């Protein structure tokens, strides 16, 4: 019977998950008593939860396959797309979101507002990488390098020349865009895994240069006392600075969404999508492949550089350890989790990936394990992302056959 096959599959999945989590969930070393504590009850809980979750998801997937009316057309992503496609509903939905965002810091603590600022920074970073990966189809694993260029631009300009946040913001973004062009030229002929390896190397080169070139970047000790954004020369307290930076990020997110949405529907945006779908056909249609790739790298790096300046102003201290390869992986995960090329999906993916670990702190030592399990389940049962982009369709209606 099919149900027996599903039970056997869920049982194998549960045993495999117990095996993978065994060193973390079952074995606990006591360094003081120099003993090992075996927590077999945790293995039973992990196996039972994995079994029932896997069985329920498999049965639901089979049920949806037998009932097309419950298929992808009625999922949460399409529901959001239907809301955004209707002009009146879209205005009401966006108005509610904007009102909630404006009122949030007045009902939340400074700590929660600070966490939300980080989430909004990753929203803009995800939208920037979405240009390169989601629209143009160029796998960039060194995106954090442009983030670092923006942060160190502000830190060094303030350290040596006394420039403030607003003067450094355009300079950091433009220097990062220039770095994107410098990266784009050597990799114009590369694609796929080779492109990913080269961009990964570029990110590591920038990080190692910042770490070892002490005369230029202060080395591993980093740069401290970076000022927060000012407001017409007024002296702001810590809470007021956090609140001001939060509203700056709200403006940045709105501006980024508007610009990226306009770019997607523009001539260059359609060229990026054509390049992602078929590079050879794109070139055969007369699209300049080199300029298209360089534009994608430059624009994606521009947003990363701007957010690097904001990050330096938020933390008031930076060092090379803040710009590791893991940051690039997190930003790429935001794009993949939300949906390649989807603006709404990237925003949701960034909020989930940044906020979820914070709200899983109640699980203590298991929170990152739970976080990883959620991502794995997401990739298995919804590989297209939370809110995948919908391709434009042009229905042909009222066509008549004039042939005799």
Note the pLDDT tens digit of each residue in 277-318: 888 888 888 888 888 889 999 999 999 999 999 999 999 999
**Which of these, 92, 94, 117, 93, lies nearest to 104 by C-alpha position?**
117
Phi then psi for residue 30, to 5 deg, are -105, 100
18 to 11, 43, 215, 375: CA distances (angstroms): 11, 6, 50, 17
Give the torsion through C-alpha atoms of 241, 243, 244, 247, to 10 deg: 150
Answer whether 325's CB lies under 8 Å from 97's CB.
Answer: no
DSSP label at residue 237: -
Give the pLDDT confidence of 86-142 residue by residue, as tens digits: 556 667 777 888 888 888 888 888 888 999 999 999 999 999 999 998 888 888 888
State yes or no: pLDDT of 85 exceeds 60.
no
CB crowding 47-75: b at 16 or more within 10 Å, else e: beebbebbbebbeeeeeeeeeeeeeeeeb
Give the pLDDT confidence of 250-282 residue by residue, as tens digits: 999 999 999 998 988 888 888 888 888 888 888
Distance, C-alpha 52 to centroid of its chain: 30
Query: What is the average pLDDT value for the chain, to the nearest integer?
Result: 82
Give the pLDDT confidence of 26-74 residue by residue, as tens digits: 777 777 777 878 888 888 888 888 888 888 878 877 777 776 655 444 4
**Res 399: pLDDT:** 46
Cα–Cα distance measured from residue 225 to residue 122, given in angstroms and rounded to the nearest whole number:
23
State yes or no: pLDDT of 376 exceeds 80.
no
**Res 87: pLDDT:** 59
**Res 79: pLDDT:** 52
**Res 309: pLDDT:** 94
Answer whether 226's CB lies under 8 Å from 318's CB.
Answer: yes
State yes or no: pLDDT of 396 exceeds 70.
no
Give 297's Cβ-side CA count (13 Å radius): 26
Q: Which two structure tokens, joined as six digits, stand for 287? A: 């699209």
Greater confidence (226 vs 68) lies with: 226
> Could you tell me what percent of the chain has a pLDDT over 90?
21
Answer whether 256's CB lies under 8 Å from 249's CB.
Answer: no
Give the torsion through C-alpha atoms of 67, 70, 71, 72, to 10 deg: 180
Answer whether 217's CB lies under 8 Å from 320's CB.
Answer: yes
Question: Helix, strand or coil for residue 138?
Answer: coil
DSSP H or E segment with residue 281: helix 279-284
**Res 187: pLDDT:** 82
Domain ranges of the chain: 2-70, 108-381
**Res 249: pLDDT:** 93
Greater confidence (385 vs 315) lies with: 315
Answer whether 290's CB lies under 8 Å from 112's CB.
Answer: no
**Res 89: pLDDT:** 65
Answer whether 341's CB lies under 8 Å from 130's CB.
Answer: yes
Cα–Cα distance measured from residue 313 to residue 231, given in angstroms and rounded to the nearest whole number:
13
Greater confidence (188 vs 208) lies with: 208
Q: Which long-range contacts (CB under 8 A, 24 or more apart) does 278-287 make?
A: 279/191
Greater confidence (84 vs 163) lies with: 163
Cα–Cα distance measured from residue 79 to residue 93, given in angstroms and rounded to the nearest whole number:
12
Greater confidence (74 vs 24) lies with: 24
**Non-local CB neighbours of 42 within 8 Å, separated by 6+ positions:** 25, 26
**Res 366: pLDDT:** 65
Greater confidence (197 vs 68) lies with: 197
Answer whether 222's CB lies under 8 Å from 317's CB.
Answer: yes
**Res 286: pLDDT:** 84
DSSP H or E segment with residue 313: helix 289-315
The sign one gets for the Cα dihedral 272, 276, 280, 285 is negative
Question: Helix, strand or coil for residue 177?
Answer: helix
């Amino acid at each position: 019977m099919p149900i027996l096959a599903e039970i056997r599959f869920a049982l194998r999945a549960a045993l495999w998950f117990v095996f993978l989590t065994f060193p973390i969930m079952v074995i606990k070393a006591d360094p003081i008593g120099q003993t090992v504590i075996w927590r077999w009850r945790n293995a039973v809980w992990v196996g039972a939860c994995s079994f029932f979750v896997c069985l329920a998801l498999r049965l639901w997937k089979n049920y949806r396959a037998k009932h097309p009316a419950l298929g992808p057309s009625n999922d949460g992503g399409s529901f959001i797309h239907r809301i955004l496609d209707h002009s009146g509903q879209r205005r009401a939905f966006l108005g509610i979101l904007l009102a909630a965002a404006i009122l949030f810091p007045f009902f939340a603590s400074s700590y929660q507002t600070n966490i939300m600022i980080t989430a909004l920074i990753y929203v803009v970073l995800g939208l920037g990488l979405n240009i390169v990966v989601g629209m143009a189809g160029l796998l960039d694993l060194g995106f954090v390098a442009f983030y670092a260029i923006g942060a160190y631009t502000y830190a060094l300009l303030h350290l040596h020349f006394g420039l403030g946040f607003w003067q450094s913001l355009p300079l950091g973004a433009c220097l990062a865009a220039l770095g994107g062009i410098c990266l784009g030229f050597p990799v114009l002929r590369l694609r796929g895994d080779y492109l990913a390896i080269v961009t990964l190397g570029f990110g590591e080169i920038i990080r190692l240069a910042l770490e070892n070139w002490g005369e230029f970047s202060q080395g591993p000790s980093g740069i401290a006392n970076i000022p927060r954004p000012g407001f017409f020369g007024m002296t702001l307290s810590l809470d007021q600075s956090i609140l001001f930076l939060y509203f700056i990020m709200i403006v940045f997110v709105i501006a980024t969404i508007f610009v990226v949405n306009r770019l997607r529907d523009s001539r260059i945006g359609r060229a990026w999508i054509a390049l992602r779908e078929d590079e050879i056909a794109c070139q055969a249609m007369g699209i300049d492949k080199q300029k298209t790739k360089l534009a994608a790298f430059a624009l994606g790096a521009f947003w990363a550089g701007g957010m690097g300046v904001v990050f330096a102003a938020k933390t008031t201290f930076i060092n090379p350890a803040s710009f590791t390869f893991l940051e690039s992986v997190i930003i790429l995960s935001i794009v993949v989790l939300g949906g390649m090329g989807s603006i709404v999906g990237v925003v949701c993916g960034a909020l989930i990936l940044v906020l979820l670990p914070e709200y899983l702190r109640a699980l203590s030592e298991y929170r990152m394990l739970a976080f990883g399990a959620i991502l794995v389940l997401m990739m298995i049962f919804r590989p297209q992302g939370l809110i995948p982009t919908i391709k434009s369709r042009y229905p042909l209606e009222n066509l008549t056959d004039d042939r005799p």
